[in-house]
Structure 1
């Protein structure tokens, strides 16, 4: 049997077995990779290589952006920024059927883009708007599903830790270009969920929010400006080349801290230790996943697994449309049972060469793979946003799966548009001179 086939089978079988018996995904990645490496190298060499690759995988300056953005997001989540963004989202959503539901979508787009976390966004927006919607007579299922369906928009709209990870594993694709590329696909995702929510709300005759006086609109807008300025400062600075993504993340922390402690005065000095511990815990999980996935990527490369998969797909068809459809289907399936960070780290080296071979820009591919895996975050059995959305919405998961189907259909249509209309991802990077 060919070494690549043998190694691929061992890796797949051991990895799947470990996941099935409940082994944490990071340990599943490392154990299956080391066992596979033994097929190629002596056992002592395999262990040494695994240790070296794990260390070098996280020894990259660009990865410092991740803990800084995580810290900034947690500070914002605890610093009263979410409430001000919800008030601003009410103004943006306007007076249409299901206004509070539409406010939830806009709120997720705004807060998710600022915090860089879909889970934090689902928790914050669902926690604030869920009770408000229930009080006004909205069905609990409608509130939860709209919150869940729109939560991942913040993983596409920058800043995004997932896009930073993709930049690293793709060989240094411009973070600024990726950030710019995520805007229109992220907004498209938000718009299609709003459209589905509008149709459902109109059919069920959900209430329209009361008219907000012009004076109050202005007040809510002015209160939200300091929070919204974070996007302008960080993304504008990165795009203009004033600072790198890592430096931009540090600026985000300083600005969020200043805003929460001295402008809004909702965060106290005594709250910081808890915030730092939460940041450290989340960062450690992500870095451990990156370390483990680096081992797996190396083993797959040495065994020739990416080339084997590439040849297999191209052997089926040489039609670029069919190849992109196959990649989308595989990534959608992968996203349902694997977290985004390890999926990006494992499947980028496999599919990026194929994408380049059919003429796809690496920035466009980065948005496509991210959007696919974002769908997995709201899909059982591993969808984090799905679980958080149900928890804050106080509803069982089995009660939201069927109502989520129209949203899944709309989001997958948006995914197909992003996949086959490259200018949707590349237009803003070109306009801003990042491409």
Structure 2
């Protein structure tokens, strides 16, 4: 029996990916190959890419959030935020671990990227934690990697922007839906850090004199205002999420250059170059996904899968359990954006058919994908922190294991209890 064009398309993606070609390029090549075998117009590939990119105003938010994060990293915003967090939680046992988590929660309201959070905060906080041997280097790397997954869950969030693109769901309500799960993750990570700190007798940081607290708070105030301006601007109806991303980038530039005067022209050029490279990488992945999703639609895969799954009569909870398991397994093997753009669209029709709220589904999906950044062998954050700390990957994974377990507990709670996600959006007017 001859192999179908769609099967050959999938095989081509796998082979090209295994040979080292970026997944976005692999999907474009495989999709063009499918069009050729099916006798369809090859120009359809270019048409799908152009229509998808030029008609999706929401995609502009991605490069702008990336630029905002890079501008914050080169300025002194991160240093000032860490000092402020030290005032808040540094006095407890394992205080610098708590500072790490809280700083990531605050930074999450600015960047929307886990990698940006890990790199921006990581270099400084790991140095603080490992100075004079106060914390093992591997533990400092593990808690930094774990805390960084909070970034794309608390708004703003680049993965949620991508999910909104494929599901036609409101970005504003998705952002709001991620707030409570993000805080829950921060809470359980701090509890886990407290338990580990007591067992290992990690140090208590010396309390900051009361006279210094107002000064430290004022120094951090311009940086702390960024998430406030961003979120109130979006939910107050003043600006769209895309306009909010532009405002975040502009404010980060303003704070770094005029308020803190901490950026040179060379650093600014480097930040723009870095954000441009990251945007190009994500853009190629989106382009590949747009063409491949067209192929998947032609083959009627989402509708066929929805028919099969609904024919099995699963409950909404049973379906979400299946999706969680599949995404967690795939997270060990694939990059998060690939899962979001290629795999998740296949599940959306079934979620709709089972009456699952798409805001709830979207936040559960994003939390799954963020946990995938911590799970070996592919966990991208593990590689970033292992490289940053010069520690063996196995050592980082071992120290991160309890934080991964804590994150899975939060995933279970938000899956079983949709109101943990939907409560805040409904408070603002969401009817789902």
Q: Give the Cα separation in 1 of the matches to 2:97 and 2:8.
A: 47
Cα RMSD for the two superposed structures = 1.9
Does residue 12 of structure 1 match 2:3? no
Match of 2:79 among 67, 78, 83: 83
Match of 1:21 in 2: 19
Match of 1:428 among 404, 424, 431: 424
Q: How many residues align?
A: 429
Gaps of 5+ in 1: none
* Distance change >3 Å, CA 101–CA 187, structure 1 → 2: same
Does residue 102 of structure 1 match 2:98? yes
Q: Quick check: 89-98 or 236-245, which moved more?
A: 89-98
Tell me, yes or no, if the aligned pair for 1:306 and 1:350 is still in contact at 8 Å. yes
SS in 1 for 2:151: helix
Q: Give the Cα separation in 1 of the matches to 2:329 and 2:171.
A: 26
What are the Cα deviations for residues 375-411 of structure 1, in whole angstroms up to 9, with x where unaligned? 1112223322111122222211122222222221111
Tell me, yes or no, if the aligned pair for 2:104 and 2:148 is still in contact at 8 Å. yes
Counterpart mapping for 1:136-155 below 5 A? 136=132, 137-155=134-152
Tell me, yes or no, if the aligned pair for 1:113 and 1:153 is still in contact at 8 Å. no
Q: Give the Cα separation in 2 of the matches to 1:81 and 1:118.
A: 17
Gaps of 5+ in 2: none
Does residue 241 of structure 1 match 2:241? no
Does residue 282 of structure 1 match 2:278? yes
Does residue 32 of structure 1 match 2:30? yes
What are the Cα deviations for residues 231-288 of structure 1, in whole angstroms up to 9, with x where unaligned? 1111111111111111111111221111111111101234322222222111111111
Match of 2:191 in 1: 195
Tell me, yes or no, if the aligned pair for 1:170 and 1:349 is still in contact at 8 Å. yes
What are the Cα deviations for residues 206-250 of structure 1, in whole angstroms up to 9, with x where unaligned? 011111222222222222221111111111111111111111111
Q: Give the Cα separation in 2 of the matches to 1:351 and 1:154.
A: 25
Q: CA deviation at 1:167?
A: 1.0
Q: Give the Cα separation in 2 of the matches to 1:196 and 1:12.
A: 42
Question: TM-score normalised to the size of structure 1?
Answer: 0.94
What are the Cα deviations for residues 270-313 of structure 1, in whole angstroms up to 9, with x where unaligned? 43222222221111111111111001111101101112222333
Tell me, yes or no, if the aligned pair for 1:7 and 1:303 is still in contact at 8 Å. no
Does residue 52 of structure 1 match 2:47? yes
Match of 1:159 in 2: 156
Counterpart mapping for 1:242-391 below 5 A? 242-391=238-387
* Distance change >3 Å, CA 403–CA 7, structure 1 → 2: farther
Q: Quick check: 414-423 or 334-343, which moved more?
A: 334-343
